[in-house]
Every structure is written in structure tokens, then in C-alpha cells.
Structure 1
Amino acid sequence: MGIIIWGSAIAVGIILLVIFGDKLSDKIIDVARKAGVSPLVISLVIISFATTLPEITTSALASFEGAEGIALGNALGSIFANIALILGLASLVRPLKAGEGAYENSLVMLLSLGLAMLLSVDGVLSRLDGAILLIAYGVYLRWLYRRHFRPGRERARRRERATPLDYALLLIYGGLMVVGARMVVFGGKNIAEVLGVPEYVIGATIVAIGTSLPEMTNALYGAVRERGSISVGNIIGANIMNALVVLGIASLIRPLPTEASTLTVLLVLLAMIPMIVSLKRSQGLGKDIGGYFLLLYALYLYLLFSGAKL
């Protein structure tokens, strides 16, 4: 009976991800058109918030319960998986054209990780550090608004305006994708435990990939429907949120000892830097860099299974 329930949870979760991933992609374009901003900006903020809810919740609860290592590892691990696994798959499906704004915001993504690492050089992310990270995210939102939002310029070209319902639907669709992802994780974790798969393998594969399914679904839909700005924007926004908001909230709840392996940070940089260079050169990500990302993720899995501390 348990296997049936868990298998059904996986099936229903995947259905939710497929259906509402499609609806979310369409609604992003609709809201961006009405609001007078690019789909990239909508993806950077609203959709990234919706799809990063699993990471925010997991790290906050882990910090509250005293599992600081999980809180820190969740944020860094998600940043790496978002680029190496998700953008790797999406850019192999179809080369992603992201536009000029993606390069600028990818630099913010790198600076966000740099700030988090700088604040942690003393061995801990304190509550003060957490507040600094959250303030930095507020500054980023202000910059993003001033840099990309031009209501006066767009008003003459559009008659419609985005309504609160439009924005609510974005969050609802994103939330339903999160529900779908949690169902997949729930079912997969229980089945793996019944089959006797080690816990660390479950965490590194089923749970890690499951919590990233909202981002993955959104990125793959963006690639299939030639909306690269959505795919790339969501990942960049989610990574900025992981570095500033996820770690900020977790360290505000309880100071986080920063025992993250140097190897983890190195892997993240090996993914981030080529991504930024590609966005600068071609305003997108091609199949070559997608293949590189997946090889990097395969290296990560090899190191994981070989017992390296990540």
C-alpha cells in the first residue's frame, strides 16, 4: 500500500509540475507585457521567489531546529544545481538567448555569493551578517526597479495594465509547482528508504533534484518555447535569492557556522564564471556550455559518491 501511495504522489507531483509550468511560462509573458517590463525581470524576482520557496523553508526550519549545516549546505548546493544541472539540461534542449540584462544580473549573482563568503570568513554567519545579506537584497531590488522598469516609456505603447490578480496567479502557479515538487520528493524519498538506499544518496539525488524541480520545469519550458530570458532569469534570480535571502533568513534565526567545503565553493565558481562569460559574449548559453555544466555536475556526483566532503 505504501509503495502505491508514494508512487501516486510522484505521478501527481509530476502532473502538477507539467501543467502549471506551462501556465506559469505563459503568465510571465502576459504580466511582463502588461507591466511594461521584460520577462527577464519578472523571472528574476517574482518567479524566483515562488520557485525558491522550498530552499527558503528548508534552510529556515533547519536553522530553527539547530541543523545549521543543512541550512548552509542547502543554499550552496541549490546554487550549484541550478546552474550545472538545470541550465545544463535547458541549454542542451535549445540554446538559450537571454538578452543584455542577464549579463548584468549574473554579475550581481557572483557578487552575492562573494558577499556571503566575505561575511563568513570569521567562521560564522551571525545575525548581523544575516541582516546585511537581506539589506543587500533590498538594495538589489531597488537597483533592478530603477534599471529596468520604465512605466512612463511603456504606458504610451500599451493600454492594459497588470492587475493584482495577474501577480497573484504568478504566485499561485509557482506555489502549485512547489507543491508538485514536494510530492515528488515525498514519494521518492520514501520509496528509496524502503529499497534500502543510503540516506546521503537520497539527499544528494532525489531530495536535491526534487526541491529544484520548480526551477527545472520552468527552465525547460522556457527552452522548449524559445523563451531563454525566462529560463536564465529564473536561475539567476533564484541564485541571488539563495545567497542573500535564504542564508540571510537562516542566519537571522540562528548564527550559522560556515564549515562549507572549499571544494563546494570552487565548484560553484567553476559553473558561475563560464556562465557569466558566455552571457557577456553572446547574451545566451549554447549547447557547448550546457554540456560543460552537465559534466561538472557529473563530477560533483562522482565526488559525492567517492566520499569527498562537499
Structure 2
Amino acid sequence: MIGTAVWVVAILIGIFLLVKAGDKLSDKIVEVAEKAGISPLVISIILISLATTLPEMTTSAIASYEGVNGIALGNALGSIFANIALILGLAAVIRPLKSSREAFRNSIVMLLSLLLVILLSLDGELSRADGLILLLAYVIYLYWLYRSHINVETVIRKGKSTILDYVILIILGLFLVAGAKLVVYGGRNIAEALGISEYVIGATIVAIGTSLPEMTNALYGALRERGSISIGNIIGANIMNALIVLGIASVIRPLQTSASVLTIVFVLAVMGPMIVSLKKKGGITRSLGIYFLGAYTLYLILLLSGVSL
């Protein structure tokens, strides 16, 4: 009993460190980029989307390095599902979300990213070669995104970076790693003690915890009637989860994917209606948000009851 309490506390402290350090680190990355005179376009396309997925990226990388396959895979795929079904579901129930045509275009990329993961996983494993393919796919996506938004920009440096800036980056990065290690430590031990698979822990507790930055942004966007912020952030984060988070984790150590079938089925069950709604409705309706939350509830029930496909 005491051991379980320690592991739960480890997960909670780890998630807190991931969220807080990730938030501060993302702000610092943008600040240093601006001081270096990096284009605002590059900052918005790469750094902002990278910032919100730092917790997932760090956690899955550490889990893969330590051989905790289930948490590495479950965190990435579970976060994709939680981002749509739980986070966008809650946001849309609060207030129907409106978006631009750009969101629809990028949602197609989100679907293609997941389909690429599925294709590479047909042999039951994401190998190191598969991981490199996923990372290359993200580079191609960035190039497409850049070409579709290219314009002439006047880049103005905002000050000059100091040694202290880089020291702070390193310290925040270490806090991020420490948080990830605590989450993996607690998740692995709870899974062993309760006889629950590491994948279930990764796809539920860890996935929800590391998705808190996306949840904050999405709910803020809904309350402020800025649906494009909510939807755009989720789409960008999901593309990164599929291509970058899984790519890095599988390059570190090949991931066995047999446990992920149920999650992928549910992700497709919400991603499809989401894309159709973005095309036809120009956003996500409250009724679709309710469907998302219902799907997430059913998913948790099935996953925690041990149902597998």
C-alpha cells in the first residue's frame, strides 16, 4: 500500500514537473529564437507546436530508453486520442468551435500521419528504420507548411541571447527529464503491482497528464471563442505525436505495437468525424463534442477492463 502511494506521488510530481518545466521551457525557447532573429513563421510552425508536445516527447523517449515499451507507445497514441476525444470534446461542449480552412487541410495531414504509423506497424513493430521514416515525414510536412505560408518577412532581433539564457534552457531541460523519469518509474511499478499492462498506464494516466498543456490551450480557446486556437493546437500536437514522439522513441529502441490496436480503432473513430465536421461545418459542434466524450468514456472502460483486439 505504501509502495503504491509512493509510485502515485512519483507520477503526480513527474507530471507537475513535465507541465511546468515544459511551459517555461517553451517560453524560453521562443524568447531565445526571437533574440537570434529567427523568423516568426518558423517560430509559429516549429517551436510552438514543439513546445506543447515536450512532455509527451520526453516521457516516451525516456520510457523507450529504459525499455518500458508500453508507456512509450501508450503515451504517444493515448495522447492523440485524448487530444481529440477528451480535450476537443470538453472544449466543444463548453462552446462549439469554429475553425479556418487551414485546419481542415492540416487535419488531412494528421490522418495521413496516423495511417503512416499504422502502415509501418503492420509487422507488429516500429523499428529504428520506421522511426527514421516518421521523422523524415515530419521534415517533409514542415517543408510543405513553409511553402504554403511563404512570404517576405522582415526579421527583427529582439535583444541578444546571453549565457544565462542557455543555462536556463539546460536547467529546464533537466527538470523535464527528471519529470519524465518519475512518471516512467511510477507507471512501471504501478503496472507491475496491480497487474495492469504498461500500455494501459501509458495510454491513460500518463497520456492525460502529458496532454495538460494542450488541454489548457484548447479550453482557453473555447472560453475566449477562439476555436481556431483550440483546433489548430490539437492538430499540430497530434501530428508531432505520430511523427516526432513515436519517431524518436522507436529510433532509441524498437517498439512492439501489438497492444495498440484498440487505441488506433478509437482514434480513427473520432478522427474521421472530426475531419468531416471541419470540412462541412467549419468547426466542431457541441453534439460532436458529446460524441467525443462518450467515445473516450467507452475507451477507458474497455481499456481498464482488459479488453484487447
Q: Normalising TM by the smaller chain, what interval? A: 0.7 to 0.9
1:66-113 deviations in whole A, cap 9, x for unaligned? 222322222111111110000001111111112010000000000001
1:197-236 alignment runs, 5 A limit: 205-236=204-235
What is aligned with 1:289?
Answer: 288
Using the size of structure 2 for normalisation, the TM-score is 0.74
Q: Aligned partners of 1:162 and 1:305: how far apart in 2?
A: 51
- Check if 1:120 corresponds to 2:121: yes
Q: What is the CA–CA distance in structure 2 between the aligned matches of 1:254 and 1:269, rounded to whole Å? A: 26
Distance between the aligned counterparts of 1:103 and 1:164, measured in 2?
37
Query: Residue type matched to 1:267 in 2?
Result: F
How far has the Cα of 1:123 moved from its partner? Answer: 2.2
Question: Contact 1:48–1:235 at 8 Å: present in 2 too?
Answer: no
The answer to whether 1:273 aligns with 2:272 is yes
- Normalising by structure 1, we get a TM-score of 0.73
The one-letter code matched in structure 2 to 1:216 is: M
Equivalent positions of 1:33-48 (< 5 A) are: 42=44, 45-48=46-49
Query: For the Cα contact (< 8 Å) 1:37–1:150, is it kept in 2?
Result: no
Query: RMSD value over aligned CA atoms?
Result: 3.8
Residue 51 of structure 1 aligns with which residue?
Answer: 52
1:218 CA displacement = 0.8
SS in 1 for 2:237: helix
Aligned to 1:305: 304
Structure 2 gap segments, 5+ residues each: none
Q: 1:254 to 1:203 in 2, by over 3 A?
A: closer
CA shift for structure 1 position 199: 6.5
Q: Flag structure 1 segments of 5+ consecutive residues without an equivalent.
A: none
Is the contact between residue 103 and residue 228 of structure 2 (CA under 8 Å) also seen in structure 1?
yes
- Kindly indicate whether the alpha-carbon contact (under 8 Å) linking 2:60 and 2:71 is maintained by their aligned counterparts in 1: yes
Distance 1:197 1:98 in 2: 43
Is the 1:97–1:284 Cα contact (8 Å) retained in structure 2?
yes
Aligned residue pairs, count:
271
CA positional deviation for 1:117 = 1.1
Give the distance between the partners of 1:256 and 1:164, measured in 2 at CA.
43
Provide the secondary structure at the position in 1 that maps to 2:308: coil
Q: How does 1:28-177 map to 2 (within 5 A)?
A: 42=44, 45-151=46-152, 163=158
Amino acid at match of 1:273: G
Whether the 8 Å contact between 2:77 and 2:203 is mirrored in structure 1 is no
Q: Distance in 2 between matches of 1:164 and 1:84?
A: 41
